[in-house]
Amino acid sequence: MITAESGPTPTEGGECRLEELLIDRIAGLLEGCRHVAVGVSSPIPGSAALLARHLSGGATRVSVLGSRHLQSFTDGGVEIFDLAAQGRIDAFFLSGGQIDGSGNINLVGVGEYPTQKVRWSGSFGSAYLYYLVPRVILFRLEHSRRTMVEKVDFISAPGTSDRNVFRPGGPHALITNLCLFTFDRDVQRFRLQSIHPGHTLEEVRDNTGFDFEVPSGFGPVPATPAPDASCLALIRGEIASAIADPYPKFAAEVLGHTAAA
């Protein structure tokens, strides 16, 4: 469900890769969760969830779809959806070919539906999980006016709903290759939380098709903190080793995991 378009973009003098910064930051967003589920093709969110589990001392359960060992479903594909509706899943990750300022996501395509000029895979579980999982983290590694749009062409799942719609869940944060937004459900807008090292507010503005809140009165928008040395070691060691089950290529090429480790 997540299209990971991660490249080898090192930050801060090569100390820490973008992926590692994201893993650390997303793990922070998952603090206090009892159960985090991660969709297919999501190595960075998967690594972040495993890091959150480690930091919780094992209190956070992690289910990684598509992995045999990192999930325990025995009732077929429907079980994750049933768990979500029961409130047994606290966090999930979604992405979008387009994401707009109201938190709407589009996984279907560009142009007028149904004969769209660009057609993506489809909505998968988004039109359900986005309503039911309290902390949905939007994750997209291409932050551009093509992806961050004023209004999506097709609403796979809306960011907000009418008051009478049963909706315990929704967008919690949006993290990209440039910055971290949180979503304010009251004003139904994103708020810029931090900008990744090496990037600027102007760059974020230039590449974002929607308006967003910028916290004012406390100086410049803070930089997204990089993981400290012990956390980095953890990511490159234990986490890399665990995520190598579903994502051996990612673990090796991005986190430097060797099979022998």
Separation between Cα atoms, residue 211 and residue 102, nearest integer Å = 9
Tell me how far, at minimum, the Cβ of 140 lies from other proteins, in Å. 17
C-beta of 114 vs 219, nearer to other proteins: 114
Strands 35-38 and 171-176: unpaired
In single-letter form, the type of residue at position 68 comes to: R
- Least Cα distance to 49 among 259, 206, 242 occurs for 242
Tell me how far, at minimum, the Cβ of 218 lies from other proteins, in Å. 35
Prior bond to 10 cis, omega within 30?
no
5 binds other proteins (CB under 8 A): no
φ, ψ dihedrals at 84, nearest 5°:
-65, -45
C-beta of 164 vs 230, nearer to other proteins: 164
Residues 17-76 that bind other proteins (CB under 8 A): 35, 40-41, 58-59, 61, 66, 69, 72-76
Judged by CB under 8 A, the residue of 10, 15, 28, 85 near other proteins is: 85
178 binds other proteins (CB under 8 A): no
- Least Cα distance to 84 among 138, 123, 125 occurs for 125
Judged by CB under 8 A, the residue of 14, 162, 219, 260 near other proteins is: 162
Judged by CB under 8 A, the residue of 7, 31, 113, 146 near other proteins is: 113
C-beta of 136 vs 204, nearer to other proteins: 136
82 binds other proteins (CB under 8 A): yes
112 binds other proteins (CB under 8 A): no
129 binds other proteins (CB under 8 A): yes
Residues 213-242 that bind other proteins (CB under 8 A): none
Tell me how far, at minimum, the Cβ of 36 lies from other proteins, in Å. 12
Q: Please give the sequence-ordered ranges of beta strands (E in DSSP) within the chain, or none if there are none.
A: 10-11, 16-17, 35-38, 61-64, 91-94, 98-100, 105-106, 109-110, 118-119, 135-140, 148-149, 171-176, 179-184, 189-195
Which residues is 137 bridged to in the sheet?
A: 93, 173
124 binds other proteins (CB under 8 A): yes
φ, ψ dihedrals at 135, nearest 5°:
-110, 90
Tell me how far, at minimum, the Cβ of 159 lies from other proteins, in Å. 10
The residue assigned the tokens 């090796």 is: 252
Q: Which tokens is 131 given?
A: 């309503």
φ, ψ dihedrals at 165, nearest 5°:
-85, 130
188 binds other proteins (CB under 8 A): no
Judged by CB under 8 A, the residue of 126, 147, 176, 208 near other proteins is: 126
Binding interface with other proteins (CB under 8 A):
35, 40-41, 58-59, 61, 66, 69, 72-78, 81-88, 107-109, 113-117, 119-132, 154-158, 161-162, 164-166
